[in-house]
Amino acid sequence: MARKNGGLRFQPSGGQRAAAVPAGKKLRLRIERLAADGRGIGFEDGRTWFVSGALAGETVDARVLSAQGKVVQARAERIIEAAALRRQAPCPYVDRCGGCSVQHISHDDQLALKQRQLAEQLAKVGGVAPDAWAKPLVSPEFGYRRRARVAVRWDQAKQRLEVGFRAAASQQIVDIDQCLVLVQPLQSIFQALPGVLRQLNRPRAIGHIELFHGTQSAVLVRHTAPLEDADQARLRAFCAGQGAQLWWQGTGEPHPDDPAGTLAYALTPWDLRLGYRPGDFVQVNEAVNQAMVEQALAWLAPGTQDRVLDLFCGLGNFALPLARLAGEVVGVEGVQGMVDRAATNAIDNGLANATFYQADLSQPLQGAPWAKKGFSAVLLDPPRDGAFETVRHISSLGPRRIVYVSCNPATLARDTVALQQQGYRLKRAGVLDMFPQTSHVEAMALFEKGQDDQAM
């Protein structure tokens, strides 16, 4: 390493250090294979290039986004020789927007990529494959997204408000006229939003905008400074014209412009309506969410004699449908506000057999008062870092069946090892295509312990 004061400079053994690859450099590459996240992988001058927008077998002109050591992040700017499975990307902003990274391949090929990533992680980390693979749970490949954050920034040099989504590997905002993955009720709001924001007297006070759609559409205005009365009135008129609720958020919690305003989404097969607030976790894909809940209930198959535990329960997305079938459901969540809203959702839906508790789910659960009676089944839906501390002692709670919903195949595979060590067998697994046009993989796995294993 080199001293900043100009002292001795040490070289690695074997010769001089290779010259850095500058951002913006362009190179023609042959793509050898696909990475798990859908980027193409190529090799040049001893470096590994990860190229977004490139497919295996293609020759592309790739432009460097960043480089560190022997790894280069790049994007394909021109396809010289195209792979047979390449399709024309439906979105005209695909080369600039950072959202939908794999729409240059068909939806079927996207599903195959996600299935392969899940299988490889289970095999590599857990040394396991399920007894049976479930069919992927899918939705329409466009028009599925019911939540979105819209980036807003004042460009001082251009004296203009930029409104859109972040560019790939950049803080740059891409102005776009439409977003094909938004649900239809949000499309018209999104298209008209830049115009009304640019009419504000103090547009620099806007931090970002969030869009929601459930039983009603809503617009959350995140502001970094108080808005003038005229600007507030303009935004009220805009939302009224769009048939959407208006919510505000400054330094505190979000609050509705109309104090009586509430947000909710429906789980129609179970005649449920779940209230939420901006900032709460709500699955973005309504169709896949419903199919996911249906599959989880079918795999757990709870009866009126069963006591079921729902970990990372959120607003009750799984717990309340489970309560329609099980004798008792206990939901546990780390965020007290969501625990409170889950309890309210149970009351509002007339469910007296579902109770909710706050707990630190990074810690063992055996000593919690609500865990002392044990459970016949457990469902968990943790964040990306998984639930290792939760699952490694989960057999002490007594469940025969466990359904694990994962948004990260790597941590699912890691936690599978901990479950296997407690005598659980991976019976089924499958992909949940919550985010079509992206490489993001969600999955569901069913673990079972036989009667002979209960004493382990």
Q: Do residues 78 and 27 lie in contact, with contact meaning Cβ atoms separated by under 8 Å? A: no
pLDDT band at residue 1 under the 50/70/90 scheme? very low
The model's pLDDT over 126-175, given as tens digits with 9 standing for 90+, comes to: 899 999 999 999 999 999 999 999 999 988 888 889 999 988 766 788 88
Has 407 been annotated as catalytic? yes
Fold of the CATH domain 147-263: OB fold (Dihydrolipoamide Acetyltransferase, E2P) (2.40.50)
Where in the chain do CATH 2.40.50.140 domains reside?
20-86
Report d(CA 217, CA 146) in Å as an integer: 9
Structure pTM?
A: 0.90
pLDDT band at residue 5 under the 50/70/90 scheme? very low
Report d(CA 405, CA 393) in Å as an integer: 18
Report d(CA 379, CA 190) in Å as an integer: 36
User: Residue 101: pLDDT above 60?
Assistant: yes
User: Tell me, what's the pLDDT at 58?
Assistant: 95
For Cα atoms 85, 182, 271, give the angle at the middle one, nearest 5 degrees: 115
Report d(CA 126, CA 409) in Å as an integer: 11
The model's pLDDT over 296-316, given as tens digits with 9 standing for 90+, comes to: 999 999 999 999 999 999 999
Instruction: Specify the CATH architecture of the domain 111-140+288-453.
Output: 3-Layer(aba) Sandwich (3.40)
Here the tokens at position 356 are: 């909710």
**Cβ-Cβ contacts under 8 Å for 163 (sequence gap 6 or more):** 150, 151, 152, 173, 175, 193, 194, 197, 198, 209
User: Tell me, what's the pLDDT at 137?
Assistant: 98
Q: Do residues 401 and 427 lie in contact, with contact meaning Cβ atoms separated by under 8 Å? A: no
User: Tell me, what's the pLDDT at 280?
Assistant: 94
Say if residue 204 is exposed, middle or buried (CB neighbours under 10 Å; 0-12, 13-18, 19+).
middle
Nearest of 145, 257, 285, 149 to residue 210 by alpha carbon: 149
User: Tell me, what's the pLDDT at 108?
Assistant: 94
Fold of the CATH domain 20-86: OB fold (Dihydrolipoamide Acetyltransferase, E2P) (2.40.50)
User: Tell me, what's the pLDDT at 2?
Assistant: 40
The model's pLDDT over 354-387, given as tens digits with 9 standing for 90+, comes to: 999 999 998 888 788 999 999 999 999 999 999 9
Mean pLDDT of the 87-113 span = 89
The model's pLDDT over 57-73, given as tens digits with 9 standing for 90+, comes to: 999 999 998 898 999 99
Q: Among 100, 239, 313, 407, which one carries the catalytic annotation?
A: 407
Better pLDDT: 299 or 84: 299
User: Residue 239: pLDDT above 80?
Assistant: yes
Q: Which residues of 277-314 are buried (b: 16+ CB within 10 A; e: fewer)?
A: bbebbbbbbbebbbbbbebbbebbebeeebbbbbbbbb
The model's pLDDT over 240-254, given as tens digits with 9 standing for 90+, comes to: 999 999 999 999 999
The model's pLDDT over 180-219, given as tens digits with 9 standing for 90+, comes to: 999 999 999 999 999 999 999 999 999 999 999 999 999 9
Where in the chain do CATH 2.40.50.1070 domains reside?
147-263
Report d(CA 352, CA 323) in Å as an integer: 9
Where in the chain do CATH 3.40.50.150 domains reside?
111-140+288-453
What is the 8-class DSSP label of residue 205?
G
Report d(CA 308, CA 369) in Å as an integer: 15
3-class SS letters over 280-321: CCCCCEHHHHHHHHHHHHHHHCCCCCCEEEEECCCCCCCHHH
Here the tokens at position 426 are: 């991976």
